[in-house]
Amino acid sequence: MASLSIHSKKHKVAVVGSGNWGTTIAKVVAENVQAHSDLFEQEIQMWVYEEDYQIPKDSKHYDAGSALSTKPQKLTQLINGLHENVKYLPGIALPKNIVANPDVADTVKGSTILIFNLPHQFIGRVCDGLRGKVIPYARGISCIKGVSVSDQGCELFSESIGKKLNIYCGALSGANIANEVALEKWCETTIAYDPPAMDSKQPTPAGSPSASSADLPSLQKSESKSMKLAALPAEYPPLNHANVRTLFHRPYFHVRMVKDVAGVSLGGALKNIVALAAGFVDGLGWGDNAKSAVIRIGILEEVKFGMQFFSHTCRSETFTEESCGVADIITSCSGGRNFRCAKMAVKEGKPIGEIEERELNGQKLQGTSTAYEVHSFLKAMAMEKEFPLFEAVYNILEGNNKPEDIPKLVEAHSTDDV
Amino acid sequence: MASLSIHSKKHKVAVVGSGNWGTTIAKVVAENVQAHSDLFEQEIQMWVYEEDYQIPKDSKHYDAGSALSTKPQKLTQLINGLHENVKYLPGIALPKNIVANPDVADTVKGSTILIFNLPHQFIGRVCDGLRGKVIPYARGISCIKGVSVSDQGCELFSESIGKKLNIYCGALSGANIANEVALEKWCETTIAYDPPAMDSKQPTPAGSPSASSADLPSLQKSESKSMKLAALPAEYPPLNHANVRTLFHRPYFHVRMVKDVAGVSLGGALKNIVALAAGFVDGLGWGDNAKSAVIRIGILEEVKFGMQFFSHTCRSETFTEESCGVADIITSCSGGRNFRCAKMAVKEGKPIGEIEERELNGQKLQGTSTAYEVHSFLKAMAMEKEFPLFEAVYNILEGNNKPEDIPKLVEAHSTDDV
């Protein structure tokens, strides 16, 4: 339990991003700061990429007599006036302590907890705009799914953010479809958070020199030797697992805390390749046994990828036991878009690109790009043979193999070492 | 690779049981003994519980001019004449080296490998009939799903067989729907096999005294201290993981070998409780996230059950990484009968017993009886609180809780220990 009296300051929380998932997470934490006023300040600033939006005539918010309805309005004004993100999360009432802010630097001002939830291609630009504007001892949580993989290497988004802003950044990922969470349908999530030990011990008084790199966890050690993180002043409640969990955990959104940032981030990226494979075998009509075999093999290739390339920090349990691993992969292989499009492609005998164009309204499948990126990375590491399912998906997309080949392609690797 | 020349004898394989799954496994091993005549004798004896069967008029085997068709025939005669189990696996051509045999003692005569695949309630009676008729150094594999749980304790079927016949008995379980395997649709399975070390080392000549109990694996150590197992004579190829896998592995039936007999057996029993829970939340319309959360929690309760009550031998990876664990639970929570009936019960607002009666033609749901048995066992151990999902299912069946309570019931246990 958090102690109530010994900390003179409370944490201020900002959410950077306000799409479908960003707004949903803002709702979750806005509810929790209300329920835990001993730990958190009551206002949640939420950064909104400003745009004009015209309320549609069929919206319950449309009022022909109101200026808000008759012409396009600033999205921030609509959100703050209606307490609803009418564009990206329509129909969901937001707590009134969420304040939409079009100025990203102003959004994070004075905040000790920064939640990043925006499309990954904007991370660089947004962080550039935040440099020098962030409290040095702030801590981040990235809710951005995926990792950046190429033949150059493999970088976690939480790492990119942490390095750009010189703060520690953890990661949140799980079997979470934004709309279902927004509707308060029950699910679970995983938060990986492993900041410098000084945060929970709080041995250094406010304003004292930051800890040496010897105190940093291994991920930070390996990735940012030159980074010096500022200690959280003792006036604040510690940002330990219990308090971070308190900020995110709801009766409908169960949080498990882990330390493995790499594993949590990788699960959200690699599952999309597995979902394509599951769609391929399901499209062949091979039934639930084959699909669950693909999922099982996919989980083990995720484990192998993590242990191979993030051996400092990765734990196999993150993939096999947590929501960000096994649960997210199951959900993605049940009805996710990668699964559905791959299945349609096989059933209709059409290239997946054609299905993507027809079904996704110009959006792109994450699974296909991740399959190519991971292949390119594995090839650069000369390790394609160690990941037969990931490679099978790449080769099926490339036309080098057929979905029917999957059992043969994974077979040689299915023996144990006895 | 098995060496071809140094062993003067080959293994003879018998299948005890010939239902849907028994006949399917007989087909699998009959194909493999043909492909590996260096290791195995070519004939597979299959015990059939003899009964009269009348070929239906719409069967392709019905021939008005043939005596086989015009009146009821012995099932063994039909199987051996038509090379098809017309009653329990109709439409699937069986290899001609399968010989149906109505005499169980004659079936196992001279066999060094006994595959048990019959309804669990017949194990006692059949083994009683086999006592003294089995080669002392024979090894068994039980394909019978489930375990025997009550407030008296928890016994594996493979253990019951092993003790009754004084032989070592392993277990096979996985995400395997018999009809799909029979149709050669691809899936995976897990075989747990951990016989006394003497089998692979073969240090003792044929007919020498059997190994001391100090050589037995820990499961046997704990369960059958008084058991003395006979060593496999050196004339036979060793029954190590490679050769056991060779007997079962097919291009459409991928085998992974493990040593954890308890874990493999428990997975096949406990998954049915989880499938009920998955059906309950799906019946509420909570979506794929909630279902995958139930599966994740279910896997961890399986792990806990195994580690708690079979700590000598159980490994968490058996549940989290193998077909008998994670894959079987996913399949069962996709379209299995426990899942389907639980979902219907919630959607229609009816007791599950009523759905069971309507949907299952007099058959019983495994999940409900397992939930009651496991509750009774946990209560006797005063450990109900450690298994909130298993208990939730029991309490929902009992009317003490509603499906909507599941998140609340599992919530207190969803924190980690940080």
pLDDT band at B67; cut points 50, 70, 90:
confident
What pLDDT shows up at residue B198? 61
Q: B293 and A408 in contact by Cβ < 8 A?
A: no
Measure CB to CB from residue A414 to each of B254, B286, B406 and give the nearest one: B254
What pLDDT shows up at residue B5? 55
**Which chain A residue has the Cα nearest residue B177?**
A289
- Mean pLDDT over each residue of chain B, to the nearest integer: 90
Mean pLDDT along residues B388-399: 98
Q: How far apart are CA A141 and CA B192, in angstroms?
A: 42
Rounded alpha-carbon distances, angstroms, from residue A260 to A140, A217, A301, A310, B40: 15, 10, 17, 10, 48
CA–chain centroid gap for A207, Å, is: 32
What pLDDT shows up at residue B317? 97
**Position B344, amino acid:** M
CA–chain centroid gap for A405, Å, is: 33
Of B75, B107, B101, B102, give the one whose Cα is nearest residue B90.
B75
What pLDDT shows up at residue B146? 84
What pLDDT shows up at residue A213? 34
Contacts of B181 in chain A (CB under 8 A): 289
Which of B173, B246, B296 is most worth mutating to test chain A (most A CB atoms within 10 A of its CB)?
A: B296
Contact B336, B145 (CB under 8 A): no
The CATH class of the A267-411 domain is mainly alpha
Helix, strand, coil in percent for chain A, rounding step 5: 50, 15, 40
What pLDDT shows up at residue B196? 74
**CA dihedral of residues B78, B83, B88, B92 (deg, nearest 10):** -150
Contact B138, B151 (CB under 8 A): no
CA–chain centroid gap for B251, Å, is: 20
Q: B299 and A414 in contact by Cβ < 8 A?
A: no
The fold of the B265-411 domain, in CATH, is N-(1-d-carboxylethyl)-l-norvaline Dehydrogenase; domain 2 (1.10.1040)
Contact A60, A113 (CB under 8 A): no
**CA dihedral of residues B333, B338, B339, B344 (deg, nearest 10):** 180
What pLDDT shows up at residue B210? 40
Least confident residue range of A228-232, B13-17, B234-238: A228-232
Cα Rg, chain A, nearest whole Å:
22
The ipTM assigned to this model is 0.91
pLDDT band at B63; cut points 50, 70, 90:
confident
Q: A411 and B254 in contact by Cβ < 8 A?
A: yes
Contact A107, A134 (CB under 8 A): no
Q: A186 and B293 in contact by Cβ < 8 A?
A: yes
Relative to beta strand A147-150, strand A153-156 is antiparallel
Contact A388, A374 (CB under 8 A): no
Q: Does A271 participate in catalysis according to the annotation?
A: yes
Instruction: Classify burial at B46, counting beta carbons within 10 Å of its beta carbon; exposed 0-12, middle 13-18, buried 19 or more.
Output: buried
Largest CA distance in chain A: 77
DSSP structural state of residue A320: H
Of B237, B242, B230, B226, give the one whose Cα is nearest residue B191.
B242
Mean pLDDT along residues B351-362: 92
Relative to beta strand B147-150, strand B187-192 is unpaired
**Position B182, amino acid:** A
Q: Which residue has the higher pLDDT, B60 or B52?
A: B52
- Percentage with pLDDT > 70 across chain B: 90
Contact B141, B116 (CB under 8 A): yes
Element (H, E) at A245: helix A241-248
Beta strands in A97-231 (DSSP E): 98-101, 113-116, 139-142, 147-150, 153-156, 168-173, 187-192
What pLDDT shows up at residue B204? 41
Mean pLDDT, each 10-residue run in order, chain A (418 residues): 70 97 98 97 98 90 82 95 96 97 98 96 95 96 91 91 96 94 96 78 42 35 59 94 97 97 96 98 95 98 96 93 98 94 97 94 90 96 96 98 97 53
- Looking at CA atoms only, how far is residue A311 from chain B in angstroms? 19
User: Chains A, B: CB contacts under 8 A, how many?
Assistant: 181
Contact B150, B377 (CB under 8 A): yes
Q: How far apart are CA A153 and CA A96, in angstroms?
A: 43
Active-site entry in B10, B145, B259, B271? B271
Reduced to 3 states (helix: H, G, I; strand: E, B; else coil), residue A244 is helix
Contacts of B257 in chain A (CB under 8 A): 415-416, 418
Per-domain residue ranges of chain A: 11-259, 267-411
Contact A130, A103 (CB under 8 A): no
Mean pLDDT along residues B47-72: 88
Rounded alpha-carbon distances, angstroms, from residue A301 to A177, A378, A414, B163, B388: 24, 12, 12, 39, 31
**Which chain B residue has the Cα nearest residue A325?**
B296
Contacts of A180 in chain B (CB under 8 A): 286-287, 289-290
Active-site entry in A87, A271, A304, A343? A271
What pLDDT shows up at residue B228? 79
Beta strands in B326-383 (DSSP E): none
Measure CB to CB from residue A326 to each of B186, B299, B408 and give the nearest one: B299
The fold of the A11-259 domain, in CATH, is Rossmann fold (3.40.50)
Backbone angles phi and psi of B386, in degrees to 5: -80, -10
Q: A177 and B288 in contact by Cβ < 8 A?
A: yes
